[in-house]
Amino acid sequence: MSAQLVAQLRAAMGEGRLAAGERLPSSRALAVLLGVSRTVVTEAYEQLYAEGWLEGRHGSGTYVTEGVTAPMPAPQVVEMRPVRRAAALHEIDLRPGLAWIGALDTPAWRRAWRLASGMPPQQRQDPHGLPGLRQALAEYIRRSRGVTCPVDGLLVTRGATNGLDLLAATVVRPGDRVGVEEPGYSRARAVLSGRGAELVPCPVDEHGLVVDGLPDDLRLVYTTPSHQFPMGGVLPVPRRQALLAWARRNGALIAEDDYDGEFRYDVAPLPALYGLDPEVVVYLGTTAKILTADMGVGWLVGRPDLVAEVALRREALNDRTAVVPQDALRLLLERGDLDRYVRRMRAEYARRREVVVQALDGLPLRGDTAGLHLVVDVAEPVAARAAREAARRGVLVETLDRHHMGPVSASGLVIGYGSAATLAELREGCEIVRTLAL
């Protein structure tokens, strides 16, 4: 982050947006403004001192060195208040994949970690995870996702991707054909091919995975039925049934990645696919969206005999979830704190989604009824140009092409509303995108 700040300050000075002789905010003030630690700013300032961009007048602050940059025209210098200057330095990140954590530092969160940190170290851990957490998670999944799961069919992982990796390590033999959504989640592809799978791209449309036409020879298919990543479709019930029938007919397994299934805005979330046929579906859950990816806890749910095999394989690989985060999550679940937080976040994301949809008025949107991202349906070359120009103006969005494995079949912009810090930033960023994509 220091390096990013150095680069942005250098560019601002080089282009004259920060004029020679201008005073920079104090490291403390800039750190607060950017939401970073003070060390990030002091390191950046030190680097720029060393390079000669900045000079200090003893006791009176940090200034842009005279002569390193052309002076700004006078009226603009007068207008450069700290907030404007910070906005020029600060990027608005609308890339998908991150949850908003601005409201996470609650007393309940801190209490859970404090209590969990008192756990004695364990010599040997059950590869399924801590029993108390497994119980609490089984109840959470029933409450939040409408499906009953047996505790002996639940294994605590480090996240959805780790769950997929463990499943692949258990059931995929090198050369097995495994279906992945196209476009889809690139990390799922990486994990599966890392375990020797031959990836088979399976088309998706606005409703999610296209089930008709799935090849008969797949060992496993990876899918995101609650909110297809990245296109945003919610798999309709008839397709869910057709998918399960396909799996039964072919002796295949379905890996259901339910990464953001708690968030649906128009109607209540559909129950997880797993609930319709626990024999053929392996359910992958995660704290990445409901809390933060940084927590490093997820869950895998499946047929108890299959989960026992996964646990054995996991032990052989010496793979485990750290116990302190497990226990912190148990406490958050048992005290009702997580449910409260998810309810709050559902309201927060609904507000954010509303701002995004309004700011993108006039553009065709997909996948905006659920999850933390949506797709703006624009053709190439407009999408790539809009993303490039938005980045130049400090707004980061992704294009759909990067989520494809093979030839690009869908174009558009993917907008995440988890990572931008404020509603105002979200609105500003989306308004910029709108002017570029219309």
Ligand X SMILES: Cc1ncc(COP(=O)(O)O)c(C=O)c1O
Closer residue to ligand X in complex, CB, 230/429:
230
Closer residue to ligand X in complex, CB, 259/274:
259
Question: What gap in Å lies between CA 212 and CA 187, rounded to an integer?
Answer: 25
Residues 6 or more apart whose CB falls under 8 angstroms from that of 182 comprise 201, 202, 203, 204, 404, 405, 406, 409
Beta carbons of 63 and 24 less than 8 angstroms apart = yes
CB of 312 to ligand X, least distance (A): 22
CB of 330 to ligand X, least distance (A): 18
Question: What gap in Å lies between CA 142 and CA 169, rounded to an integer?
Answer: 27
Please name the helix (run of DSSP H) or strand (run of DSSP E) that holds residue 40, with its range, or none: helix 38-51
Sheet holding 365-366, edge to edge: 365-366, 373-376, 413-416, 398-399
Burial of residue 3 (number of CB atoms within 10 Å: 0-12, 13-18, 19+)? exposed
CB of 136 to ligand X, least distance (A): 18
CB of 297 to ligand X, least distance (A): 8
Closest residue to ligand X using C-beta atoms: 159
Closer residue to ligand X in complex, CB, 47/292:
292
Question: What gap in Å lies between CA 232 and CA 413, rounded to an integer?
Answer: 12
CB of 93 to ligand X, least distance (A): 13
CB of 191 to ligand X, least distance (A): 9
CA angle 277/279/281 to nearest 5° reads: 65
Question: What gap in Å lies between CA 415 and CA 410, rounded to an integer?
Answer: 15
CB of 336 to ligand X, least distance (A): 23
Beta carbons of 149 and 141 less than 8 angstroms apart = yes
Closer residue to ligand X in complex, CB, 185/349:
185
Closer residue to ligand X in complex, CB, 187/427:
187
Closer residue to ligand X in complex, CB, 27/223:
223
Beta strand 281-286 with 208-209: parallel, antiparallel or unpaired? unpaired
The DSSP code for 200 is: E
Please name the helix (run of DSSP H) or strand (run of DSSP E) that holds residue 160, with its range, or none: helix 160-171
Burial of residue 271 (number of CB atoms within 10 Å: 0-12, 13-18, 19+)? middle
Closer residue to ligand X in complex, CB, 257/425:
257
Closer residue to ligand X in complex, CB, 25/225:
225
Question: What gap in Å lies between CA 438 and CA 430, rounded to an integer?
Answer: 12
Residues at the contact surface with ligand X, assessed by CB under 6 A: 97, 159-162, 185, 224, 229, 257, 259, 286, 288, 293, 298
Closer residue to ligand X in complex, CB, 9/99:
99
CB of 287 to ligand X, least distance (A): 7
CB of 288 to ligand X, least distance (A): 4
